[in-house]
Amino acid sequence: MIDANPYTKLPRSSYWRTSVVRAAKSQGTVADLWTPKFAIAPTDKTLTTGSCFAQHIGKALTSAGFAWHDAEPAPFGISDDLKKEFHYGVFSFRVGNVYTPEVLKYWLSWAINPDIQDREVWEQDGAFFDPLRPQIEPDGFETAEDLFAARDATFEAIRNGIKDASVFVFTLGLTECWFNQQTGLVYSSCPGTIAGTFDAQKQAFRNLDYPTILDSLHQVQTLLKQINPDIRMLLTVSPVPLAATAAPAAHVLTATVASKSILRAAAGAFTDQHGDVDYFPSYEIVTHPGLGRDMFEPDRRGVTPKAVAYVMQHFFEGLGVTPTNAPPQETDADKAVAAALEADDLVCEEIELEKFNANPD
């Protein structure tokens, strides 16, 4: 007879063999992997932003009949290809990839008070590019005034979108970033890679640490609550490895693990401190070898459509959304998984770094 101790009454999910190993052998989902802190109903308007992996969540929510909120829709009559090229409908706002909470802070604080926005502009070949979202206009803006007018439109979309929303989903992507040494402005990408010109006297590399990420998440929540006191947050960490690292003397593999570990730890600590903040383990589902699945494309960086579908199966199972207990017209999980299988055309700015690889073979 086994004496009672703290481990004798633990559920199956607390033991590796009866949870992870069982899922690996059956090739099914991991039972009870995610127990949401709060319900997300099909009628709850949900916003998504962050790294490129966040696009999967938005597409799956839409396909499942959930109220994914496109707060900054494209002008009427634009083709689907042009919408994507100009970053409409990619995230809930036309902000491009937001890889760090630092950049998210800018969008939120500037939306609340546009007068405090940094007015740095990248001018190149007679065109003007936004340092926070250089790809949204492929050929740049014709004038700086046009650039800031487009920002004003996004600020309005952010304010109105958050006021109307119930859930804000943010996918953390990177700790590495570049910033203006004179103003402190953190860029969304390194100047000179997508647009702009790199100046070593003006711009510098920074690798955000755990305290900085955690503090920024708290500031993000404070800003969100200024607009909508009732909004809830759902955090994820992107499983996509770094395309390249600028960390001194670092290998891209170790830099990736370090970056994702910091993001995951900060997301966990932040979630533990707030009842209206939750974390969904997309990162763990994709990256952990214990599940015995090949989750990555041949480049070992891109996540396969089947892996994305597997992630979203866990998401909808956690929410209690299945074809047997949810009205198809409202929440069709099968349809959402099918959409995830097709969602292999993400808009990812970081991959642009690969074109600068001097040793591609």
For 113-134, write each residue's pLDDT tens digit. 999 999 999 999 999 999 999 9
pLDDT at residue 167 in the model: 98
CA distance linking residue 322 with residue 194, whole number of Å: 42
Residue 340 clears pLDDT 80, i.e. is over it? no
Residue 317 clears pLDDT 70, i.e. is over it? yes
Domain that holds residue 347: 32-351
- 63 pLDDT band, cuts 50/70/90, is confident
CA distance linking residue 235 with residue 266, whole number of Å: 10
Domain assignment present for 102: yes
134-142 long-range contacts (CB < 8 A, ≥24 apart) are 134/96, 134/188, 134/189, 134/194, 134/195, 134/196, 134/349, 135/87, 135/96, 135/194, 135/195, 135/347, 135/349, 136/86, 136/87, 136/94, 136/96, 137/86, 138/85, 138/86, 140/195
Domain assignment present for 236: yes
For 5-38, write each residue's pLDDT tens digit. 999 999 999 999 999 999 999 989 999 999 999 9
- 336 pLDDT band, cuts 50/70/90, is low
Q: Whose structure tokens read 């690996």?
A: 24
| Contacts (Cβ under 8 Å, ≥6 apart) of 16 | 290
Domain assignment present for 121: yes
The answer to whether the predicted template modeling score (pTM) of the entire model surpasses 0.85 is yes
pLDDT top residue among 348 and 155: 155
pLDDT at residue 287 in the model: 96
Q: Which two tokens stand for residue 55?
A: 């696009």
Domain assignment present for 17: no
Domain assignment present for 359: no
Using an 8 Å Cβ cutoff, are 66 and 321 in contact? no
**Mean per-residue pLDDT of the chain:** 91
The neighbouring-strand residues paired with 153 are none
Averaged pLDDT, 325-347: 51
pLDDT at residue 321 in the model: 79
CA distance linking residue 231 with residue 225, whole number of Å: 7
In angstroms, the Cα distances linking 311 to 34, 54, 284 are 11, 12, 10
pLDDT at residue 330 in the model: 40
For 165-183, write each residue's pLDDT tens digit. 999 999 999 999 999 999 9
pLDDT at residue 52 in the model: 85
In angstroms, the Cα distances linking 209 to 52, 103, 238, 261 are 21, 15, 17, 10
Helix (H, G, I), strand (E, B) or coil at 186: strand
- What is the Cα gyration radius of the chain? 21
pLDDT at residue 333 in the model: 57
The domain tally of the chain equals: 1
Averaged pLDDT, 137-141: 96
Domain assignment present for 265: yes
Domain assignment present for 346: yes
Averaged pLDDT, 91-95: 97
For 202-258, write each residue's pLDDT tens digit. 999 999 999 999 999 999 999 999 999 999 999 999 999 999 999 999 999 999 999
Q: What percent of the chain has pLDDT over 70?
A: 89
Domain assignment present for 7: no
Q: Which two tokens stand for residue 75?
A: 């002008």
CA atoms lying within 13 Å on the CB side of residue 278: 19
Q: Which two tokens stand for residue 169?
A: 């989903």
Distance, first Cα to last Cα, the chain: 61
pLDDT at residue 234 in the model: 98
Residue 347 clears pLDDT 70, i.e. is over it? no
Helix (H, G, I), strand (E, B) or coil at 69: coil
